[in-house]
Structure 1
Amino acid sequence: MHTIEQLDDGRAVYLNGKLIQVSEIPIFRKTLALNNQYYTLQKTHPAVHTYQENGHNYDIAYKVPRNVADLRQKHQAYQEIAQTNNGMLGRTPDFLATGMGILAERYAFLGHNKWTDFAVNAKHYAEWIKANDIFISHALQNPQLDRTKPINQIPSGYTGVHTVERRADGIVVSGAKMVNTMAPIADDLLIFNPPELLLEKGDTSYAVAFATPLNTPGVKIICRKLLDHPGYTEDDYPLSNALDEIDAYVVFDQVFIPWEKVFVENDTDMSNRFFIESGIFGHTSHQDEVRGITKLEFATSLAIRVAHTLGLDGFLGVQEKLGSLTAHLELIKGTIARSEDEGQLDEFGIYTPNLQALLAVRASLPAFYDEALRVIQHLAAGSMVGVPGFEEFAGDNGPILDQALTTSRADSRERSKLLNLAFDLSSSGFGQRQLMYEYYHGGDPMRIRSKHYLDEDLQAGNAMLDRLLK
């Protein structure tokens, strides 16, 4: 855990065209406080959030699961962390922490070159992260400039991160990554390439995976526009004035990376294999889907609360809409449970969740979440659009508003705050960014679905077909 002032460590963070100090931005401070719940829960609820290994206590995210009970404990910890932010922070420290625990055992495939041993580097880095409980962010998506061309044929030099110099003590890299969530408030940054956009033979200089502190000279964090609303309270904007996960465009300008922090270099095959074969993907997916179901439950609960407060929950048509949301919620919960129950031990003795089940969640949850937001919009409708600023309640019109907006189900301020929450989640810039995040943060939904059908085990179904068609 660190304070906001400790993030003024020389990192180059840019916002609205200015080089800033992280501590100067109020929404960064609020977001960090929520992010730090990961560390707080280790102290307040250690039975769930910590475990012992070789006489030391570690966060449960780092625990290498050996059976279904281990996965279930990690599930509970992920859920409790997500509940502190209503599932709105997708990249809390437990996300990559769980991947580091696995990398520390699945590192050997990375091999070596004449200067360094990539496998040993990965093992030592993962162990260092675990020992010090370092908050790492990651950036894998290359800027979407021209997907019709191989990355090496786009001349800008910023279509990905690539090696520009190779030395006896390390490499020098330049380039950019498109989306780096939480970069301004993380400690370290892990760079690698996404597996769904495979590098080609001519892309070797882009075939890198490495880690570096975020205050490394030459690293620039260029934040997108913030989504909070200065001048309004959290009564007006209960979510967007409480946190912003802060996506950023990250630029590397002749950045030196020592060999001991390099895990892949000049090897397209290894770059394409890194995310999946390291085990990071499967286990971070488990954390991510638990966080996702927490967010879906929050949105579903909000839709039901809006329907009740506005007196709509007695109508059959509304009940049908709400029932669709709760049915989706149960389907996702059941599929995540199945991923745990039907996991399997790999060759390292690591109990890994069923990836087909997790990918089914990833393929379905965005649309279910989208539906929950649309139900909220349709039910709250003009009621949420017409809520006055909360300061009106303390002004001359306060008594009128108290009388006009109070019902038998909620007083004027309770009703207004609920409708503000409905607007913030379903219709504001913050809410639309959250929707976009659910659709794309786990990869292209089209690619997820196409791969899912190719990998599905239909042995029983095909046997029935063959018996009838024989």
Structure 2
Amino acid sequence: MIRTGDQYRDSIRDNREVYMNGERVKDVTRHPMFKPLVDIRARIYDMAHDSETADVMTVEQDGEVNAVGNALPYTQEDWWAKRRATDTVLETIGGVVTRVGDETVGEMWSLYDGQDLLNEVDPQFSKNIQSHIKKVLHEDPFHVSANTDPKGDRSLAPQDQDPDMLLHVVKETDAGIVVRGAKYETAAAYANQAFTKPTIANWGNAEMSDYAVGFICDLNSPGLKFICRGGFAGTRGDERDYPLTNRFDEVDTIVIFDNVLIPWENVLFYRHTKAATFIRATLHRYSAFAFVQRTLKQADQMIGTALFNARQTGLEKQQAVQEKLSQLAIWREGINAHLTAAIALGERSPAGLLMPNQSLLMTGRCHALDNLPAMMHIARELCGGQICVTPNVATFESPETKPWMDKYYTINDSWMAEDRRKLLAYARDLLNSDYAGHRLTFQLFAQSPPFAQYGAVYRNFDWDGPLSFVKAGANLSDTVVKGFKPRNSDCAVHQYYGEQLKDAAE
């Protein structure tokens, strides 16, 4: 079943306990701070039925039509289809949204790859994983991913402080496990379910731990409370002054688990620190692709905004301006190259799926995010100081001030004052607003903190290749590098370099 937008809206009109600015929200589909993103998610559902976009948004598998974002990837074409669908969504809605389902469902596929490990504890867990992957594919829920806990004092083990600082199991029953604690999750207040899993934690020496638990949480379960940060939409004045803030703010939530029952069929692993460590290490092997693709579209926003400003004011032909634009282009194309190569040199996963090339994907994520703050500053520079001093739309429309605004903001016959105002408002909202600052921080931490992102690079880069190259060139003894083998012999790039190194050694 592929949902419609109205079916999605109906599915979140339930008794969930949602609070915004300290007040209980009666209907998240109508509240002004939730409605813009609810409407965007509904639009994405409707795009699967729209004759103009259905072919891009859906895929037929085993005689059934499913959402392409939920479909397991087996081939390069599967990844190209996912990339086309994401581009189509962002271009249709006219902006960038991150937590809308396709970027989080990939985390389930990482569990699918780890079924053998989970079977060490209980074969039922492996069965549950397969069941929920099928459920996501066939029932098309809005699926998000709950990750970060409040954590408390990180120098202490969770057992040595308030135990609720990390989500944990407090009781087992015949019906399931009962959990307490809290998780931060963007979009949880208006989603259907969340893959809830351990954060990056200090497990100590415990082989078994009540904190090592992962499950699917139905977000209308009794005992859940959703305490949301104040949204930007509807609070930053006229939408024409803040066109991104008022349309694309994805509301973040701390989800309180107040003795919530998780049925056994929804438990994916439990009391297994090895499984928790595995999922933290492999969590983003698929979902990082969609996340990095969003940063690519954010780069397009910045380039388009900066280039329009340069052309408006006649500065595009200056060498210094061209150099700045080229820096943005180099960053953008670096992201594009990593995504493209990650597909072209994809790797077979333990469960038989096609993973994007892990080294290229994880280095691409670091390239995209490490350079984002500097690229935003270059875009600000290219837009000029007017993005922080231009009056709001009311000033451009008031009879007393409109003539002066028309005089000083009209550049030529092609760029009249109103278009100039629109572009500057867009640039300010993209680069300088509260929303812009929030997006920058969100991108920094959205999948994991920088040290964990670099850890993923360290785990996936083929260190043996450079070592063997130097061993052969320096004629080092065989004891220096023992048993050289490319990290993944199924990957074309490692096969190629492995053959080159073998030839060099001979």
Alignment partner, residue 274 of structure 1: 279
Structure 2: runs of 5+ lacking an equivalent: 476-506
Picking from 242, 253, 265, the partner of 2:270 is 265
Paired with 1:96 and 1:451, the residues of 2 have a C-alpha distance of: 18
Q: How does 1:360-375 map to 2 (within 5 A)?
A: 360-375=363-378
Paired with 1:309 and 1:144, the residues of 2 have a C-alpha distance of: 49
How many pairs were matched up?
464
Alignment partner, residue 132 of structure 2: 125
- Range with bigger deviation, 396-405 or 158-167: 396-405
TM-score (norm 1): 0.92
Alignment partner, residue 379 of structure 2: 376
Computed over aligned residues only, the root mean square deviation of the Cα atoms, in angstroms, reads 2.3
Alignment partner, residue 359 of structure 2: 356
Alignment partner, residue 402 of structure 2: 398
Residues 388-440 of structure 1 show CA distances to partners (whole Å, capped at 9, x for unaligned) of 22122332222321122111152111111111111111111100111111111
Aligned residue identity for 1:272: T
Q: How does 1:113-262 map to 2 (within 5 A)?
A: 117-155=124-162, 157-177=163-183, 179-194=184-199, 196-197=200-201, 199-202=203-206, 204-230=209-235, 232-262=237-267
Paired with 1:323 and 1:422, the residues of 2 have a C-alpha distance of: 19
CA contact (8 A) 1:306 1:376 kept: no
CA contact (8 A) 1:366 1:435 kept: no
Alignment partner, residue 55 of structure 1: 63
Task: Find out whether 1:33 has 2:31 as its counterpart.
Answer: no
Could you tell me how far 1:455 is from its partner in structure 2?
Answer: 3.8
- SS at structure 2 position matched to 1:410: coil
CA contact (8 A) 2:71 2:137 kept: no
Rg larger in structure: 2
Alignment partner, residue 102 of structure 2: 94
Paired with 2:215 and 2:105, the residues of 1 have a C-alpha distance of: 16
CA contact (8 A) 1:204 1:267 kept: yes
CA contact (8 A) 2:387 2:424 kept: yes
Paired with 2:42 and 2:205, the residues of 1 have a C-alpha distance of: 42
Closer, same or farther: CA 56–77 of 1 in aligned 2, 3 Å: same
Could you tell me how far 1:246 is from its partner in structure 2?
Answer: 0.5
Could you tell me how far 1:111 is from its partner in structure 2?
Answer: 2.5
Paired with 1:329 and 1:459, the residues of 2 have a C-alpha distance of: 30
TM-score (norm 2): 0.85
Misfit runs of 4+, over 6 Å: none
Could you tell me how far 1:104 is from its partner in structure 2?
Answer: 5.6
Which of the pair has the greater relative contact order for Cα pairs under 8 Å at 6+ separation? Answer: 1
- Range with bigger deviation, 261-270 or 63-72: 63-72
Alignment partner, residue 327 of structure 1: 330
CA contact (8 A) 2:32 2:233 kept: no
Aligned residue identity for 1:128: K
Aligned residue identity for 2:103: F
Closer, same or farther: CA 23–52 of 1 in aligned 2, 3 Å: closer
